[in-house]
Amino acid sequence: MLDNPPLTNLQTRDIESLLHPYTPIHQLKSTGTVVMGRGKGVYVYDTQGRGYIEGMSGLWCAGLGFGDEEMIEAAIEQMRTLPYYHIFGAKSSEPAIELAEKLKEIAPVPISKVFFTSSGSEANDTQVKLAWYMNNAMGRPNKKKIISRIKAYHGVTVMAASLTGLPSNHNGWDLPVDRVLHTDCPHHYRFGIEGESEAEFTARMAKSLRDLIEREGPDTIAAMIAEPVMGAGGVVIPPKGYYEAIQAVLAEHDIMLIADEVITGFGRTGNWWGSQTLNMRPKTISAAKQLTSAYAPLGAVMVPEDVYQAYVDHSATLGTFAHGFTYGGHPLSCALGVKAIEIYQRRDIIGHVRRLMPVFERRMKKIGEHPLVGEARYCGLVGAAELVADKASKRSFDPRNGVGPKASKLIEENGAILRALGDTIAICPPMIISEAELNELFDRFETGLDQAEAWVSTGALRAA
Ligand SMILES: Cc1ncc(COP(=O)(O)O)c(C=O)c1O
């Protein structure tokens, strides 16, 4: 097989005109892009006619898969009725109202108001601004820092990227900005000390958080933001008891917890919210992605009544609540959000996820036995395989060898799209996937891993 076949016309036009996110753009001229043409169910097809199982739901978002007729109908109907309106300056529209009501109904903690954005990054950016606004309203002008975690992913706007705890989002971008603190990543496999139990590790995480808070001064810290399961940082599932321990420390110091449910919301972990699966009790919540099953862009920030009342007080002092996005509460997106939630409920998508979870678990455990895989981790229908040079010592490959990207390329050549997060291969299939399709996805995953193993062995890439 040719490594780099000649580029098609579309691929050439693509490279001439698009700046691609999260892509080694210096290599694009030789590798080209995969131009997707259409999608149906869990499958997507590129413009050269090749089909793939979309094992990542796009970017962890297309929970209902592709081409759902009910979603399409809802979009057409809303476009005909009111294709755009805003909710600034005391205007509103029915889809925004209805979706806000729905979100209040299904929220994992009491929620009073919903603020709409167009993306997860904007939701998290808004969370920070709202925390500052609230503390100004409450006469606590110094309580402004936000704690995040190493390996967290919260998006790419200036503040969301600062909250993100990944070097590639900071190096070269003049980030993070100040007022952002990063505490430890709760990944026992990678950051546990030799012989340390999960319980001891969790206690160390809590102590480290406490030390950070006491060093900085609790009266300078507004909030901590956390994904229930860390996604882009490698699908990190904290040990049992982690959130209970963390939350006790936060409560002691009057620091509110923000749950970033952008990936974990709407059934992904086997409950409506990752907070429920992981025993988190957040004060406020960010949502996006599966909120509309990615049929249109939408993010949301959900806040309780006491927090909302602080905004009301501050609005009274300042004259208005001066924050909002042109497309926040877009009627098309909100109509699709309402329809997606209705479908999740009517078709019992969460029940379906739960029925598939034992299959997912069995297949992930088998992936964990593969010679390339150091740890296979999973929660609901999201998981990852961390590829290592040496299983016993957990030694990683030299990142310059690009073992993860090579493995995901080989998996793709077998007709399955998964995502390399460095040398960790993530899997997050559409929640509507059937058992047979899920098994087929794992078969292709395994074949790709076998080929990656052969490539690693041939190239002697395990050398220390
Ligand atoms: C947990 C989490 N938060 C926030 C974001 C940012 O969302 P967006 O890309 O819609 O800005 C993402 C995106 O992957 C995410 O995974």
Q: Residues 320, 426: one domain? A: no
Atom of ligand 1 at shortest distance to CA of 60?
Answer: 14
Query: Which residue's CA is minimally distant from atom 13 of ligand 1?
Result: 155
pTM of the complete model: 0.98
Q: Assess whether the C-beta atom of 118 lies below 6 angstroms from ligand 1.
A: no
Are 406 and 328 within 8 A, CB to CB? no
Please report whether residue 258 resides in a domain.
yes
Predicted pLDDT of residue 118: 98
Q: Residues 286, 146: one domain? A: yes
Identify the domain containing residue 306 by its residue range: 70-347
Last residue of a domain, one of 306, 332, 347: 347
Last residue of a domain, one of 347, 370, 399: 347
Q: Assess whether the C-beta atom of 233 lies below 6 angstroms from ligand 1.
A: no
Tell me, in angstroms, the distance from the centre of ligand 1 to residue 60's CA.
Answer: 9
> Within 87-197, where are the H helices?
94-106, 120-137, 158-163, 167-170, 188-191
Please report whether residue 464 resides in a domain.
no
Tell me, in angstroms, the distance from the centre of ligand 1 to residue 19's CA.
Answer: 19
From 289, 295, 325, mutation site for ligand 1 pocket: most ligand atoms within 8 A of C-beta: 289
How many C-beta neighbours within 10 Å does residue 24 have?
10
Q: Please report, to the nearest 10 degrees, the dihedral formed by the alpha carbons of residues 371, 377, 381, 387 taken in order.
A: -40
Atom of ligand 1 at shortest distance to CA of 264?
Answer: 1
Predicted pLDDT of residue 2: 47
Q: Residues 181, 169: one domain? A: yes
Q: 349-368 vs 331-346: helix axis angle to the nearest 10?
A: 80
- The three-state (H, E, C) secondary structure of 285-350, written as one string: EEECHHHCCCCCCCEEEEECHHHHHHHHHHHHHHCCCCCCCCCCCCHHHHHHHHHHHHHHHHCCHH
Please report whether residue 256 resides in a domain.
yes
Predicted pLDDT of residue 464: 76
Tell me, in angstroms, the distance from the centre of ligand 1 to residue 209's CA.
Answer: 24
CB contact burial 71-81 (16+ within 10 A = b; e otherwise): beebbeebeee
136: CATH: 3.40.640.10
From 57, 127, 153, 268, mutation site for ligand 1 pocket: most ligand atoms within 8 A of C-beta: 153
Q: Assess whether the C-beta atom of 262 lies below 6 angstroms from ligand 1.
A: yes
Q: Assess whether the C-beta atom of 65 lies below 6 angstroms from ligand 1.
A: no
d(CA 460, CA 464): 10
Please report whether residue 305 resides in a domain.
yes
Q: Assess whether the C-beta atom of 261 lies below 6 angstroms from ligand 1.
A: no
CB contact burial 360-392 (16+ within 10 A = b; e otherwise): beebbeebbebebbbbbbbbbbbbbbbbbbeee
396 Cβ neighbours under 8 A, 6+ residues apart: 388, 389, 423
Q: Residues 96, 227: one domain? A: yes
Residue 375 three-state SS: strand
Please report whether residue 103 resides in a domain.
yes
Atom of ligand 1 at shortest distance to CA of 122?
Answer: 11
Q: Residues 269, 126: one domain? A: yes
Please report whether residue 62 resides in a domain.
yes
Q: Residues 419, 293: one domain? A: no
Predicted pLDDT of residue 5: 76
10 burial type by CB count under 10 A (0-12 exposed, 13-18 middle, 19+ buried):
middle
Q: Assess whether the C-beta atom of 125 lies below 6 angstroms from ligand 1.
A: no
Please report whether residue 15 resides in a domain.
no
pLDDT in tens, the chain (464 residues): 445 778 899 999 999 999 999 999 998 888 889 999 999 999 999 999 999 999 999 999 999 999 999 999 999 999 999 999 999 999 999 999 999 999 999 999 999 999 999 999 999 999 999 999 999 999 999 999 999 999 999 999 999 999 999 999 999 999 999 999 999 999 999 999 999 999 999 999 999 999 999 999 999 999 999 999 999 999 999 999 999 999 999 999 999 999 999 999 999 999 999 999 999 999 999 999 999 999 999 999 999 999 999 999 999 999 999 999 999 999 999 999 999 999 999 999 999 999 999 999 999 999 999 999 999 999 999 999 999 999 999 999 999 999 999 999 999 999 999 999 999 999 999 999 999 999 999 999 999 999 999 999 998 898 87
Predicted pLDDT of residue 3: 59
Q: Assess whether the C-beta atom of 61 lies below 6 angstroms from ligand 1.
A: no
Q: Residues 205, 145: one domain? A: yes
Tell me, in angstroms, the distance from the centre of ligand 1 to residue 420's CA.
Answer: 16
How many structural domains is the chain composed of? 2
Please report whether residue 330 resides in a domain.
yes
Q: Residues 56, 91: one domain? A: no
Last residue of a domain, one of 304, 320, 347: 347
Atom of ligand 1 at shortest distance to CA of 121?
Answer: 11
Please provide residue 148's backbone torsions phi and psi, each rounded to the nearest 5 degrees.
-125, -165
Q: Residues 268, 360: one domain? A: no
Report residue 292 as tokens. 């509309």
Q: Residues 47, 124: one domain? A: no
Q: Residues 161, 304: one domain? A: yes
Q: Assess whether the C-beta atom of 188 lies below 6 angstroms from ligand 1.
A: no
41 beta partners? 66
From 119, 235, 262, mutation site for ligand 1 pocket: most ligand atoms within 8 A of C-beta: 262
Tell me, in angstroms, the distance from the centre of ligand 1 to residue 144's CA.
Answer: 22
Q: Residues 394, 307: one domain? A: no
368: CATH: 3.90.1150.10
Atom of ligand 1 at shortest distance to CA of 230?
Answer: 1
